[in-house]
Homo-oligomer: A and B are copies of this chain.
Amino acid sequence: MAIQPTGAVDSGSAVLVSDTYGKTRVRVVKVTRSNGRHDLQEIGVNILFEGNFESCYRTGDNSRILPTDTMKNTVYALARDHATDPIEEFGQTLIQHFLTGNPQIEQIHVEIEQRPWDRIDTDGRPHPTAFRQAGAETRTAILTGTRESVQVSSGFNNLFVMKTAHSAFEGYIKDPLTTLRETSDRLFGTAVKAEWKYASDSAAPLNTGWNTAWNGIRRTILSTFADHHSLSVQHTLFATGEEVLARFPEVSEIHMKMPNKHCILVDLTPFGRDNPNEIFVPIEEPSGYIEATLRRA
């Protein structure tokens, strides 16, 4: 098969500028067993292909289309053949599989989200075959692969955290529509989403392993968030990213999102009561939003 370049091609009234297709939310639970002790892993996989698929769009010629149903089957089959832990390696396994024998594919995007399961403690000991889902937080891996290279990002999503001290917001712009009061003592709640890239020439993640690196970086973000004397969400976001870059030379770049999960101090004066930063109402919307990318200098 002679593969055409996929740049925008003029043919008729419309140009196909860009396109992608794939399967999302392919979920797998994998149980591995060893001497009566089980390990349980739950992942959800998204797979997107880019390449030379224009004939499918224009004429309905499906001869270059690997069905998304087959992508799903492939996740199941490769989960049987290979380790799914760490998810960064399983993502690479998927990319290598699809790039072999599918010349029409130029680039593959894989996202894997892992839901955590902890062991149930019984009589003070972790149970060998019973598990409790640890929460809303997920571990993520995002990979973009071509025949030349694969770029891997690790991260997490939905890490809900709250600081009840050492958080201020003062000295901002006032205009005629300002009603917010400056405060040197507010609640700072957020649901952190972080993704970081490893330097391509760094052997560190391979030396320490993906899981060790992930745990260390997450712990750094948590402890920096906890200890930071925050003057704004931006200030704390930067401090946590900077600390990750400082402590983990294998990380080349980190991207973070910190939506502001506002907790509004309730005005109790109409009820004849003071409120010394004690009673707050959490609100879901509207929501402040901060997002930034930091790179090693």
Q: Are A67 and B178 also in contact (CB < 8 A) when A29-B187, A281-B27, A286-B26 are? A: yes
* Identical chains in the assembly: 4
Residue interface mask A8-26, B partner, CB < 8 A = 1: 1011111111111111111
The answer to whether A21 and B288 touch across the interface, beta carbons within 8 angstroms, is yes
The answer to whether B222 and A70 touch across the interface, beta carbons within 8 angstroms, is no
Tally of chain A residues near chain B (CB < 8 A): 139
**B contact residues around A171 at 8 Å (CB):** 61-63
A99 within 8 A of B: no
**B contact residues around A127 at 8 Å (CB):** 223, 226-227
Q: Which of B225, B246, B284 contacts A120 (CB 8 A)?
A: B225
The answer to whether A76 and B266 touch across the interface, beta carbons within 8 angstroms, is yes
A202 within 8 A of B: no
Q: Are A62 and B170 also in contact (CB < 8 A) when A77-B273, A120-B223 are? A: yes
A2 within 8 A of B: no
Residue interface mask A256-297, B partner, CB < 8 A = 1: 000110010010101111010111111011111111111111
The answer to whether A242 and B12 touch across the interface, beta carbons within 8 angstroms, is yes
Q: Which of B14, B135, B179, B291 contacts A295 (CB 8 A)?
A: B14
The answer to whether A280 and B31 touch across the interface, beta carbons within 8 angstroms, is yes
Interface stretch, picked from A87-95, A146-154, A228-236, is A228-236
A101 within 8 A of B: yes
Cα distance A114–B122 in the bound complex, in angstroms: 24
The answer to whether B234 and A14 touch across the interface, beta carbons within 8 angstroms, is no
Q: Are A77 and B291 also in contact (CB < 8 A) when A42-B282, A162-B131, A232-B62 are? A: no
Main secondary structure, interface of A, reads: mixed
Cα distance A177–B208 in the bound complex, in angstroms: 35
The answer to whether A14 and B123 touch across the interface, beta carbons within 8 angstroms, is no
The answer to whether B17 and A163 touch across the interface, beta carbons within 8 angstroms, is no
The answer to whether A235 and B285 touch across the interface, beta carbons within 8 angstroms, is no
Q: Which of A17, A26, A172 has the most CB of B within 10 A?
A: A172
Q: Are A278 and B32 also in contact (CB < 8 A) when A129-B166, A285-B284 are? A: yes
Known: A20-B291, A60-B230, A120-B161. 19 other contacts (CB 8 A): A12-B242, A13-B296, A15-B294, A16-B292, A17-B253, A17-B293, A21-B233, A21-B291, A62-B232, A65-B173, A67-B180, A70-B175, A73-B178, A73-B271, A128-B165, A130-B162, A130-B165, A131-B162, A132-B222
24 A-B contacts, Cβ less than 8 Å apart? A14-B246, A15-B294, A15-B295, A15-B297, A18-B292, A18-B293, A19-B292, A21-B290, A21-B291, A24-B287, A30-B280, A40-B164, A53-B234, A62-B171, A62-B231, A70-B177, A120-B225, A122-B227, A123-B223, A128-B165, A131-B161, A131-B163, A133-B161, A135-B136
